[in-house]
Structure 1
Amino acid sequence: MGVSPTQWIITAVVILGLLAFDFFFHVRKAHIPTIKESATWTSIYVSIAIMFGVFVWLTMGQKSGIEYYAGYITELSLSVDNLFVFLIIMASFKVPRADQQKVLMFGIVVSLIFRTGFIFLGAVLINSFAWVFYIFGVILLITAGNLLKPEKDEDDEDSSEANNFIIKLAKRFMHTTDYYDGDKLFTMENGRKAMTPMLLVMIAIGGTDVMFALDSIPAIFGLTQNTYIVFTAVAFSLLGLRQLYFLIDGLLDRLIYLKYGLAVILGFIGVKLILHALHENNVPFINGGQPVSVVEVTTELSLAVILVTLLVVIVMSLMSPKGRALTTIKNTRRHAKQYLDTGFEADPVIRDKNYRALIAEEQTLLGLPEKHRELIHDEDELLDLLDEAHATHERYVAENPERFTDGDPMSGKPRIDTDAYRRAMENPDAFEGHDHED
Structure 2
Amino acid sequence: MEVSTTLWVLTIAGLIALISVDFFIGRKPHDVSIKEAGIWTIVWIVLAAIFGLGLAVFGDGQASGEFFAGYITEKSLSVDNLFVFVLIMAKFAVPTQYQQRVLLVGVLVALVLRAIFIAAGAAIISSFSWVFYIFGAFLIYTAWKLIQEARADEDEEEWEENKLLKTIERRFGVADRYHGTKLWIEQNGKRVMTPMLVVMLAIGSTDILFALDSIPAIFGLTQDPYIVFTANAFALMGLRQLYFLIGGLLKKLVHLSYGLSVILGFIGVKLVLHALHESGVHVPEITIPVSLGVICGVLVITTITSLIASKKQAEAEQRKTDAGSKDKDSIEA
TM-score by length of 1: 0.72
Identical counterparts, % of pairs: 50
Q: Which whole-Å deviations, capped at 9, do the CAs of 1:183-228 have from their partners, x for residues lacking one?
A: 1111121222211111111111001000000000000000000110
Give the match for residue 181 of structure 1: 179
Residue in structure 1 matching 2:297, options 301, 305, 308: 308
Partners of 1:173 and 1:232 lie apart in 2 by 37
Residue in structure 1 matching 2:277, options 276, 279, 282: 279
Taking a change above 3 Å as real, the CA distance of residues 184 and 294 of structure 1, as seen in their structure-2 partners, is same
Give the match for residue 7 of structure 2: 7
Whether contact under 8 Å (2:80, 2:257) holds in the other structure is yes
Return the offset for 1:434.
6.0
Whether contact under 8 Å (1:115, 1:213) holds in the other structure is yes
Taking a change above 3 Å as real, the CA distance of residues 178 and 154 of structure 1, as seen in their structure-2 partners, is farther
Give the match for residue 42 of structure 2: 43
Return the offset for 1:373.
4.3
Give the match for residue 296 of structure 1: 285
Bigger mean CA offset, 115-124 vs 163-172 = 163-172
Return the offset for 1:90.
0.6
Return the offset for 1:151.
3.3
Name the aligned partner's letter for residue 11 of structure 1. Answer: T
Return the offset for 1:64.
0.7
- Which structure's relative contact order is higher, taking Cα pairs within 8 Å and 6+ residues apart? 2
Return the offset for 1:167.
1.6
Partners of 1:87 and 1:242 lie apart in 2 by 12
Q: Which whole-Å deviations, capped at 9, do the CAs of 1:43-75 have from their partners, x for residues lacking one?
A: 000000000000111112011110000000000
Taking a change above 3 Å as real, the CA distance of residues 434 and 6 of structure 1, as seen in their structure-2 partners, is farther
Note the 1:242-261 alignment, pairs <5 A: 242-261=240-259
Structure 1: state its 5+ residue gaps: 282-290, 327-364, 377-415, 422-430
Residue in structure 1 matching 2:226, options 211, 224, 228: 228
Taking a change above 3 Å as real, the CA distance of residues 194 and 116 of structure 1, as seen in their structure-2 partners, is same
Give the match for residue 85 of structure 2: 86
Taking a change above 3 Å as real, the CA distance of residues 115 and 434 of structure 1, as seen in their structure-2 partners, is farther
Partners of 1:76 and 1:3 lie apart in 2 by 24
Return the offset for 1:165.
1.2
SS in 1 for 2:221: coil
Note the 1:126-137 alignment, pairs <5 A: 126-137=125-136
Whether contact under 8 Å (1:166, 1:204) holds in the other structure is no
SS in 2 for 1:188: strand
Give the match for residue 102 of structure 2: 103
Partners of 1:151 and 1:22 lie apart in 2 by 37
- Superposition CA RMSD, Å: 2.0
Partners of 2:328 and 2:282 lie apart in 1 by 64
Partners of 1:270 and 1:369 lie apart in 2 by 38
SS in 2 for 1:212: helix
Taking a change above 3 Å as real, the CA distance of residues 106 and 267 of structure 1, as seen in their structure-2 partners, is same
Q: Which whole-Å deviations, capped at 9, do the CAs of 1:333-365 have from their partners, x for residues lacking one?
A: xxxxxxxxxxxxxxxxxxxxxxxxxxxxxxxx6
Note the 1:272-421 alignment, pairs <5 A: 272-281=270-279, 291-320=280-309, 323-324=310-311, 368-369=315-316, 373-374=319-320, 420=324
SS in 1 for 2:248: helix
Partners of 1:245 and 1:264 lie apart in 2 by 24
Structure 2: state its 5+ residue gaps: none
SS in 2 for 1:157: coil
Return the offset for 1:154.
4.9
Return the offset for 1:40.
0.4
Give the match for residue 16 of structure 1: 16
1:118 aligns with 2:107: no
Residue in structure 1 matching 2:239, options 238, 241, 249: 241
Partners of 1:95 and 1:9 lie apart in 2 by 37
Partners of 1:432 and 1:93 lie apart in 2 by 40
Partners of 2:141 and 2:251 lie apart in 1 by 24
Runs of 4+ aligned residues of structure 1 deviating over 2 Å after TM superposition are 150-158, 431-435
Q: Which whole-Å deviations, capped at 9, do the CAs of 1:152-180 have from their partners, x for residues lacking one?
A: 5454533x2xx211221111210211211
The alignment of Structure 1 onto Structure 2 pairs a total of residues equal to 329
TM-score by length of 2: 0.94
Return the offset for 1:18.
0.7
Q: Which whole-Å deviations, capped at 9, do the CAs of 1:305-337 have from their partners, x for residues lacking one?
A: 0011111111111222xx2365xxxxxxxxxxx
SS in 2 for 1:148: helix
Partners of 2:155 and 2:185 lie apart in 1 by 31
Partners of 2:328 and 2:276 lie apart in 1 by 60
Return the offset for 1:117.
0.5
Give the match for residue 152 of structure 2: 151
Give the match for residue 71 of structure 2: 72
Whether contact under 8 Å (1:76, 1:237) holds in the other structure is yes
Partners of 2:204 and 2:141 lie apart in 1 by 23
Name the aligned partner's letter for residue 221 of structure 1. Answer: F
1:62 aligns with 2:50: no
Name the aligned partner's letter for residue 157 of structure 1. Answer: E
Larger radius of gyration: 1
Partners of 1:112 and 1:231 lie apart in 2 by 9
Partners of 2:169 and 2:196 lie apart in 1 by 13
Give the match for residue 192 of structure 1: 190
